[in-house]
Amino acid sequence: MAKLGINVDHVATLRQARGGNEPDPVTAAALAELGGADGIVIHLREDRRHIQERDLRLLKAMVKTKLNMEMAATDEMVHIAMDVQPDLVTLVPEQRAELTTENGVDVIGHKHDFEKIIKTLHGSGISVSLFIDPSLDQVKAAHKVDADTVEIHTGPFANAQNPEFERTELDAIANCVRLAYKLHLGISVGHGLNYHNVTMLTQLTEIEEYNIGHSIIARAILVGFDRAVGEMKTLLV
């Protein structure tokens, strides 16, 4: 059975909207684990729009499963990661104007930069995942720069406006998953997945982990974390 990582960024988004202390993403992470989550995902953005360094450090101390720190490939973030020591770092692109991550990193165009960062993080004992678009060339490039895992960007699939485009995107994801498996890379998927579209991916048994945030947090507001996480877990069988 594939694992489920819960992204709690949007709990922090709600907190930051009022500038107070509630709701606490650290508490949300604990409830997600109690509900059956196999890991906790957070994105410490350069602009600190939701997750704060306090959250990261507290989560490192209390997460019992796996802490996956998403971050931009910058010197500042590398230093923070090396200090905190999350279980996994996922390198993602960042744009200040975006509402959420819009695309994967360009491993091909920045090969030497990623090689350097991955080597540095590996030297500190941290595994590295690259968040990439569903491109065979990007999978090959991720393998060449010694990434441990690739996370395939499922946003275009999740946002498809018609069945034909949805099938095209699903095929692209499937091809990348199969290539990553042949290259012995860890395989995860994420972005835009929800209780309806995730079942279309479960046919791809090579996928090891689903990283999902917004749809689970939105449902948890209505039914609680235990139920929201549990319902998603049952879909990944």
Catalytically active residues are 43, 70, 191
Residue pair 40/63 in contact (Cβ under 8 Å)? The answer is yes
Label each residue of the chain as H, E or C: CCEEEEECHHHHHHHHHHCCCCCCHHHHHHHHHHCCCCEEEEECCCCCCCCCHHHHHHHHHHCCCCEEEEECCCHHHHHHHHHHCCCEEEECCCCCCCCCCCCCCCCCCCHHHHHHHHHHHHHCCCEEEEEECCCHHHHHHHHHCCCCEEEEECHHHHCCCCHHHHHHHHHHHHHHHHHHHHCCCEEEEECCCCCCCHHHCCCCCCCCEEEECHHHHHHHHHHCHHHHHHHHHHHCC
CA dist., res. 6 & res. 225, Å (int): 10
CA dist., res. 16 & res. 23, Å (int): 9
